[in-house]
Structure 1
Amino acid sequence: METWQNLLGFSGYVLGLTRDELASVQWADSIPTLMGALVGGLLTLHAANKTFKGQQTMQRQQLLDMEKAFLQSINSELAMVRQHYQTVIGNEIDQLPDGKPFESNYSVTGDYFTVYNKSDQIGHVRDEKLRRDIIWAYSMMKGLLDSYQTNNDMLAKREQDMKDFRYSSKMVGLLDANTRSAELTQYAETLKTYHLEARAAVDSALESIDETLKHEKNWKV
């Protein structure tokens, strides 16, 4: 009896009829029609479910494709920034003797992190360690460039002190310039530390990105 009631309920769902309406049906004459409607209804439900699952799969794949494209872009940007930095500044700081100031003045005011700064995809990187590595690498590089700007400002102040001494012949200008030189020498050690730490952070992030990208299973639903 319970099975029959369940069948009536499901039949009503498929045919859009209430239980009372179903009960008034002339079953002997209507069974072929009912069975056809049930089969048709089941096929429709199956097709709708398959379509829904297909759409879900497509959406998940699109998210994976977006994440992969973002990581590929970040990988390219970090690699280029590292290479440019090492060529323009890094080699010089590597060769700087201990106890010497960093005398070069490099412009570090440009936007070297276009992909990272203009994208909100970092929050969608699934791997927590990879996400941390990328954020840390960019934070360290930004901090390093800020440090070079600080060094530039110190060089400019020392130059101004020397100009004041040359034009006024006042010893205070020379003393100030010597003080700046001592500060620059001390700050050079800070620069070398930041240089090594930032480069290591970038190398670690690049290694993590490469390791993630090379596994195809990470990019298929």
Structure 2
Amino acid sequence: MDDLLTWFSVCLSGIFAIIGGWIGGSIGGRYALKATQKAHENQKNIADETEARIVKSLLQAIHDELETVFDQYQETMGNRIEALEKNQPLAFYYPLASDFFSVYHGNTFLIGRVKDHDLRKAIIKTYSLAKGLLDSYKMNNDIIHKWEHWSLVFAETQMEVHKIQAEAYRSSLINYAEVLKKMHEDVKVNLKETTRMLALAGIFS
């Protein structure tokens, strides 16, 4: 009888040990899982904060670049094109740098990380219009060069064929001036809207 009680006691002890181990393991596993989840959440929060800082810095730089480049442009050419009278050529060379938009071109891989779809689209549109305007000024510079060339040739030769060439290029300049004025206004309007949207996005806070 004593042997039976002893055996039963040993069995109960073993069962309790197993149950205790299972409960302890379960609780420990649950805390370990929560700790892992918490660590993951912390890492994600840190990654999100880092991403937000990177995008905000990019938007600040874009705002500054757009304002700076346009202010310089307005002083050198914008005021001139706005004051140009109808049926007059823009007979003025616009010196063009190799890259006005170093911030934008150097960070195009980050533009897609701007979460605000409308803001992202506005930025891309403004830069596209601005680059199109600069390309058009290059074309105008080329027409001016050809007009001056044939005007000089006519002055030296007094041949009618050269006069016709010079007048044709001057006529092209007059027509192209209207195109430039329209493109200038489009850039100005889009730039104003984009900088407004950038400010509303909280880049200065």
Which residue matches 2:149? 160
Q: Which of 39, 46, 49 is the equivalent residue of 2:37? A: 49
Structure 1 counterpart SS, 2:201: helix
Supply the distance in 1 between the matched residues of 2:70 and 2:113 (Cα, whole angstroms).
24
Q: TM-score, normalised by structure 2?
A: 0.87
Q: Which of 67, 70, 92 is the equivalent residue of 2:55? A: 67
Q: How many Å apart are 1:183 and its aligned residue?
A: 1.5
Task: Give the count of matched residue pairs.
Answer: 192
**Structure 1: gaps (5+ residues):** 1-24, 217-221
Which residue matches 2:8? none
Superposed CA deviations along residues 29-88 of structure 1, whole A, max 9, x for unmatched, are 344444433333222221111101111121122222211111111111111111111111
Q: How many Å apart are 1:153 and its aligned residue?
A: 0.5
Distance of aligned partners of 1:215 and 1:147 in 2 relative to their CA distance in 1, 3 Å threshold: closer
Q: Is residue 122 from structure 1 mapped to residue 115 from structure 2 by the alignment?
A: no
Q: 1:162-201 alignment to 2 at 5 Å?
A: 162-201=151-190
**Amino acid of the residue matched to residue 46 of structure 2?**
M
Q: Is residue 207 from structure 1 mapped to residue 199 from structure 2 by the alignment?
A: no
Supply the distance in 2 between the matched residues of 1:214 and 1:162 (Cα, whole angstroms).
52
Superposed CA deviations along residues 82-121 of structure 1, whole A, max 9, x for unmatched, are 1111111101111111111111101124200111111111
Supply the distance in 2 between the matched residues of 1:215 and 1:203 (Cα, whole angstroms).
17
Q: How many Å apart are 1:200 and its aligned residue?
A: 0.9
Which residue matches 1:139? 128
Supply the distance in 2 between the matched residues of 1:76 and 1:214 (Cα, whole angstroms).
11
Q: How many Å apart are 1:192 and its aligned residue?
A: 0.7
**Amino acid of the residue matched to residue 41 of structure 1?**
G
Supply the distance in 2 between the matched residues of 1:141 and 1:35 (Cα, whole angstroms).
68
**Structure 2: gaps (5+ residues):** 1-12
**Amino acid of the residue matched to residue 151 of structure 1?**
N
Q: TM-score, normalised by structure 1?
A: 0.81
Considering only aligned residues, what root-mean-square deviation do their CA atoms show, in Å?
1.8
Supply the distance in 2 between the matched residues of 1:178 and 1:28 (Cα, whole angstroms).
107
Q: Which of 70, 78, 83 is the equivalent residue of 1:90? A: 78
Superposed CA deviations along residues 141-184 of structure 1, whole A, max 9, x for unmatched, are 00111111111101000111012112322121112111211111
Distance of aligned partners of 1:197 and 1:177 in 2 relative to their CA distance in 1, 3 Å threshold: same
Which residue matches 1:13? none
Supply the distance in 2 between the matched residues of 1:29 and 1:102 (Cα, whole angstroms).
95
Equivalent residues of 2:60, 2:204 under 8 A apart = no
**Amino acid of the residue matched to residue 195 of structure 2?**
L
Supply the distance in 2 between the matched residues of 1:60 and 1:89 (Cα, whole angstroms).
42
